[in-house]
Amino acid sequence: MTANTTETAGHLTDDVVGMSHHDTLARKILVIYLPLAVFLFVLLFPFYWMAITAVKPNDQLTNYANYSPFWVVGPTLDHIKYLLFETSYPGWLWNTVIVAVCSTVIALAASVFAAYAIERVRFTGARITGLMVFLAYLIPPSILFIPLAFIVFQLGMFDSRLALILTYPTFLIPFCTWLLMGYFRSIPFELEESALVDGATRWQILTRVVLPLAVPGLISAGIFAFTLAWNEFIYALTFIQSSENKTVPVGVLTELVRGDVYEWGSLMAGALLGSLPVVILYSFFVDYYVSSMTGAVKE
């Protein structure tokens, strides 16, 4: 018997307390519940503010002397009705969906081939190429939109959704490639070697071995790409002029702000409705997202 183990009535019991003496209620409140409450407040308060502003009557929006800014009395749906039926918001939402989905698909397709080639084909300069791809993601869009605008004008794509679909991958592909490189790196090489011994081609290995194992990484990269494309502002503001072709971030800002007049209720309603698709997307694929962030394929 060791010093920390005693035998009682034929059973072994462990006297080691371990870290259980730290599991007090006060410590849990200080270490777990209080930081979690602060995090939830910071995370959810903007959505709460948007929600109450979207249903506030106009006379309560700035009248803080008679009404609380954190609550609403007599909520109204006038701002939401105005947004949906008297503006082009449904069209902006549809444009955003089309642009985000198409650009995400293009970015994922290109990133899969690029990441697989860099990590698994092992050609000369693969690591340098991977580093350059990552550095390309760090270039701010505020610098790239100037030469891209010239190309868009020359190709006759100005003021069309195609201009955004083809320019968004310029910042989506580097990020998705960098993300998938890390996930492909975690897949055991022995799986590919076994497939090569059995006579499989590189295409068969990619489609039947690597991609099925990389589903969490693909979903994670897709979610990030979709979110970036959904919220993009600079390219959409530069390449789109007509109201019917605008996306939600640009349309809400340019059409609901007239000089120094801000349609605060409709602005907040547009921001709230525009954020819901991304929230729903994250909620459906959160398990795959966490899986891709915390680990990968085990041997």
Q: Which of 133, 172, 163 is nearest to 247 (CA)?
A: 163
pLDDT band of 295, cuts 50, 70, 90:
low
Tell me the pLDDT of the chain averaged across its residues: 84
Residue 58 pLDDT exceeds 90: no
Q: Give residue 289's pLDDT.
A: 64
E strand residue ranges, 143-262: 257-258, 261-262
User: Which of 164-173, 178-187, 280-289 has the weakest average pLDDT?
Assistant: 280-289
Average pLDDT over residues 143-160: 89
Q: Give residue 299's pLDDT.
A: 42
Convert the pLDDT of each residue in 107-133 to its tens digit. Answer: 999 999 999 988 888 777 878 888 888
CA 156 vs CA 164, 176, 229, 234, 290: distances in Å: 13, 28, 22, 19, 42
Average pLDDT over residues 251-275: 87
DSSP 32: I
Q: What does pTM read for this prediction?
A: 0.81
Residue 91 pLDDT exceeds 90: yes
Which domains are present in the chain?
5-76 (no CATH), 83-294 (1.10.3720.10)
Average pLDDT over residues 168-178: 90
